[in-house]
Structure 1
């Protein structure tokens, strides 16, 4: 029967049948489209992760091992905004060994909850006890933004366990380990010309409120070149250009 001899009702029925056939065809292809998109997404994620893993990250800051200058300062750190700071060397990790300097078991705590592998080098875990002064300016653990080597694409990270008080700044928790340990990090891409001239000033600040006291355990604080894959809990000792 030609379309010319069809009633309006018959024509509408024919249109509906064709539309239904088209919908069925599209529906049958959706699973193939979704599968292709998922595969492409997985390949992109794998490429990005592999690219990050193959990228060389060079330490741009000083003393990532966090050796102490004395009982009130970390060697090479320009700590500002505090009324008082007490720093204790709790533990040293090297190879598969732990040196417990205080008897508090901090090194064992770190290995049990954060990383229990081989350490190709040395680093200290330190205890910070502080009181922020009454100035409105942030209290920074290491005020080093002005040293002209922390612009462009970079990552700042550390392992941190807050015991009392509060912290702030650009860094946030990328992973929460057991017993209060966290991987803190902040990243900046080279996405604009301004990033070639500036860097975050307050990566990690101690106490959000003036006059506040705090206490924390901390290790491996530093800034490196490029984007480190913090999502996969990757942060460790990095080769350095600068020496304290």
Structure 2
């Protein structure tokens, strides 16, 4: 049972995904509050999930709070500087989902006594199928890690990293990954339409194929490479299609993740002098 009061700073897509997952986990809306400058966004969340809508300004935090920073990385310094005093009088766990901003950068703003976690969840959290990468500084207690583990386990699978520098790679893969998969679905659908299928059928077939293949891979001890060879008959239709994919898919994947990871690292550069 999650007893913490959950305080979101930010009301964007990631906040909504996490809130949706928490509500499905059974966290009462009365335990969740959202602070954001957009009245429309936070009121929409309040209506949808029964939570408390609060203005963006800092205010006294409830005791036993877990604060999730879900605003933009470039706003970290300005927003958290305003909240610093609010952290002084409450027993607070702080979780940042801001790409590229290190845990030490967060502590330099909030104060050295704050327990800081970095998290990189992805949007499938809203249907309980998220992938969240977590990192905690060495000073964080095991019991505090258990609380954060419980919250994010409720919206999918959790993967802990012991080297914070790997968070950029995790962001590039899991954080941005849903967009890559959706683009792949779009491409499959469009290609099928060009081959004559109607769009409704093409979309349904593409979605079921990707979903079913992911389920099969998750349930099998075999590697994706081994499974791929099992379903590829020499000289068959699958082999013909794979020959085209192999021309560019691997280099594109490497370039895409490298670009996303580089952007994640760049997002933290503006705060480097304050770490």
TM-score by length of 2: 0.23
TM-score by length of 1: 0.25
Greater fraction strand:
1
Greater fraction helix:
2
Q: For the pair shown, which has the larger CA radius of gyration, 1 or 2? A: 1
